Amino acid sequence: MVKAVFLDRDGVLTRERADYVKTPEELELLPDIADPLCALRYLGFVIVVVTNQSAVGRGLTTNKQMSLI
């Protein structure tokens, strides 16, 4: 059996922004997030990051650009 935890990216793993993340440079990981993620992996969890990126639908960035983030 695979154990998994699903985490939202924005506001959980990364700093929430007033606008949209459009480039890798704009993405800011929350401080001290690595230790809890490592603990989950140590406990045997697969970590799945889910995110709804409306910036693509709004034409502010592309799927290709977002895949780099």
Catalytic residue among 8, 19, 32, 35: 8
State CA 31 to chain mean position distance.
Answer: 14
Lookup: tokens for 21: 């993340």
Answer yes or no: 8 catalytic: yes
Is 19 among the residues known to form the active site? no
List alpha helices for the chain, DSSP H.
34-42, 54-57, 63-67
Catalytic residue among 10, 19, 32, 35: 10
Q: What are phi and psi of 66, to 5 degrees?
A: -70, -30
Q: Give catalytic residues, as residue numbers.
A: 8, 10
